[in-house]
A and B are shown apart, each in its own frame.
Chain A
Amino acid sequence: MEMLKKFSGSSLFLPVVALTVLLIFNTLFVDGFLTIQMTEDGHLYGRLVDILNRSCSLIILALGMTFVIATSGIDISVGAVVAISAAVVCTLIGGRGDGVAEMPMSVAMLAAVGVGVLCGMWNGLLVAKFKIQAVVATLILMTAGRGVAQLMTEGQIITVYYKPFEYIAGFLPNMPLPTNIFIALAMVILVAILMKKTSIGLFVQSVGINPTAARYAGINVTMVIFLVYAFSGLCAGVSGLIESSLIRAADANNAGLNMEMDAILAVALGGTLLSGGKFYVGGSVIGAITIQTLTTTMYALGVSADQLPVVKAAAVIIICLIQSKKAQEMFDKWKASRHSQQKNDTKAVIGKAVKQL
């Protein structure tokens, strides 16, 4: 009981409940949801593995977005950065039909991630140095980014036939799980260690709560904000690698489309306040998995990809309302008034009874 109470009060409570509800719903209504099979070549296979596999790029994006939102910023350019990174890696490896890479894959991968970091640094420069609101600053890249990606791929969808490229989002030889799960895991662990062993988390949090006070406390606010956006760019770059490897192509129009919304939603679902301050990395990870589960569930129920945003939009608005202070105040007031009304009712009943006596 004590433990249950402690758990229900913790920040992870809501996200875990949401995920559990979704999973139970799936087990009941989707055939063979829980079955996991081993294929002949030693790969695990099943809906659960699929959900984990597909949620990796979102988890990584949500990691970066968590820190950005914690500094009370926002990065709406991540979708475009994913497209740019995908375009870079695919153009460098090249779409040669004979399966030969034009550049070594390591160079291409490094370049893709590097471009992501550069994009993040650009956003960081605008937000931290020029003091431009985050929405607006990242809007620039959101507008221009897809154009840049289109130019790189010359408006074509570049399909990569180079075999090792599939490994990023596929299976390495003799591995039971897809590689991107390990990539996501590694990044989450890295962030967790940084949080535990250094005071980066504290810096980010104090900048999010009150930048002026943080500056007086001796924190280099400009640097913290700049690094946060650079990290978000890095995450988007890695995400772009995974997304392009998943379809073995760079599609500048559709890679990472609407992903910024999913990433924001994941962070919000994880319990991080969208107005900045305290943040929960674990919550964001669970939030990202929840969203992917929701997406897969909807697909399983026959909702098309175009129609899905209706559900997600409703989820965002509900989360925002739950988080909003005003709504909480109104709820408390309503509860209080109901309480007093109940009291009055009992008083009236007692009074009646006394009179009758």
Chain B
Amino acid sequence: MTSKLNQMIASKYFSFFVTLALFVILYGAGMAIYKGFMRPQVFLNLFIDNAALIIVTIGITFTLIIAGIDLSVGAVLALVCMVLAWLLANTGIPLSLAVLLVLVMGTVFGAVQGYIITKFDLQPFIITLAGMFFCRGLTAVISQDTIQIVNPDWVALASYRIDLGVGFVSIGAVVALIMIAIAALVLGFTKFGRAVFAIGGSESSAALMGLPVFRTKVMVYAISGFCASMGGLAYSLIMLTGYNLHGLGMEMDAIASSVIGGTLLTGGVGFIPGALIGVLIQGVILTFISFQGTLSAWWTKIVVGALLCVFIIMQAFITEQKSKLSSKSSMEDNNNPPQAAPAAQ
């Protein structure tokens, strides 16, 4: 019985299942307390409201898996919103070109950060913290006031609803789900994905194995920049403005979602669907608060902080348990070599 439990804890997906269970419990409690929670649209709204956060979390998860971090995502998101709004308001370039431009901008910014971090062997959080300040400042340099987006195509896209029969979703939500699927496939089934996990497990081993460590790391930060700018587009579909304070603190929400979803902060372990559930949990908490009506929205921050804490401590516990298990199983290996083949995960 205990061995089964140990095996379960040692499983790669243990924290994912904990997260999933937590989500189901939270949602179930919501349904039990408030009648409104039953409506399918409430569930779909989780995706609509959090589309930007879901997309940003994908990028963050990539950086966390290689044992890095990207604190600049919220600021990149704000910069993208602002540049898009500014381009549409002050230049005559077509919408598609403007969208392409901001996507390239975000990706290049991420890649440059990745290049500096990898080339000069600097701590990622310092460089991306500087990147965060740089982008926030740049956003303010472009404009300190809110710039409205009045481009009719973008507004039409923002208000477009895809009918699912029981409810509707927005374009942003669909894009987020597609990106989740792509990211999960890339991480799970490609050479690049395996290289990402290998680097997170041990960078020097990955280098000795002949994996392209430098290129992969720069690419991961570029992906994070791309996701942040894509998230910026999704955000601007909701807000329809460019403003300096958009996405303030979003990097923390994204990291929290990723961690709650089972990504190990020491690198090497991460699960994209888990990150999605992590975002949804935050969404459910916010829905709770809005249904309750009397609570301050700041409770979300506190509850998320507490959840983050619980999951991080759980991670520490699991890692310790795992190393204990593996040392135990190797001892068993030594004692009775013939039948020794326990699941030494």
Contact = CB atoms under 8 A, between A and B. Distances in A.
Contacts of B298: 146-147, 150-151, 155
Interface string A296-328: 000000001011111111101100110011110
B255 A148 contact: no
Interface in B302-342: 302, 304-306, 308-309, 312-313, 316
Given A307-B141, A324-B121, A143 B252 contact: yes
A144 B136 contact: no
Interface of A: 74, 76, 126, 130-133, 135-137, 139-148, 150-151, 154-155, 258, 261, 264, 274-275, 304, 306-314, 316-317, 320-321, 324-327
Contact of A143 (B116, B120, B127, B301): B301
14 contacts: A136-B259, A141-B305, A143-B253, A143-B308, A147-B298, A150-B301, A261-B129, A307-B140, A310-B138, A313-B134, A320-B126, A320-B130, A326-B120, A326-B121
A151 B296 contact: yes
A143 B141 contact: no
Nearest to B309: A140
Main secondary structure of the interface of B (DSSP, over half): helix
Contact of B316 (A130, A145, A147, A326): A130
A189 B207 CA distance: 48
Given A144-B306, A155-B298, A274-B123, A306 B140 contact: yes
Nearest to B313: A130
A230 to B, nearest CB: 18
Residue of B252, B259, B309 with most chain A CB atoms under a 10 A cut-off: B309
Contacts of A316: 126, 129-130, 133
Interface of B: 69, 116, 119-123, 125-127, 129-134, 136-141, 144, 244, 249, 252-253, 255-256, 259, 265-266, 296, 298-302, 304-306, 308-309, 312-313, 316
Given A264-B126, A309-B133, A314-B134, 7 more contacts: A126-B312, A136-B312, A146-B301, A154-B296, A275-B123, A309-B137, A310-B134
Contacts of B139: 306
Contacts of B313: 126, 130, 132
Contacts of A313: 130-134, 137
A90 to B, nearest CB: 17
A226 B313 CA distance: 17
Contacts of B252: 139, 142-143
Nearest to A265: B130
Contacts of A74: 125
A76 B131 CA distance: 15
Contacts, number: 131
A274 B139 CA distance: 28
Given A130-B313, A143-B249, A144-B304, A310 B126 contact: no
Contacts of B300: 147
Main secondary structure of the interface of A (DSSP, over half): helix
A143 B254 CA distance: 11
B302 to A, nearest CB: 4
A210 to B, nearest CB: 18
Nearest to B124: A135
Contact of A306 (B125, B244, B312, B316): B244
Given A132-B316, A143-B308, A307-B140, A321 B133 contact: no
A324 B119 CA distance: 10
A325 B132 CA distance: 24
Contacts of B119: 326
Contacts of B253: 143
A288 B204 CA distance: 37
A88 to B, nearest CB: 16
A76 B130 CA distance: 13
B133 A147 contact: no
Contacts of B296: 150-151, 154-155
A150 B299 CA distance: 9
Contacts of B134: 309-310, 313-314
B11 to A, nearest CB: 22
B136 A309 contact: yes
Given A130-B316, A307-B141, A310-B138, A140 B129 contact: no
Contacts of B259: 136
A133 B137 contact: no
B122 A310 contact: no
Nearest to B310: A140
B130 A317 contact: yes
A147 B302 contact: yes
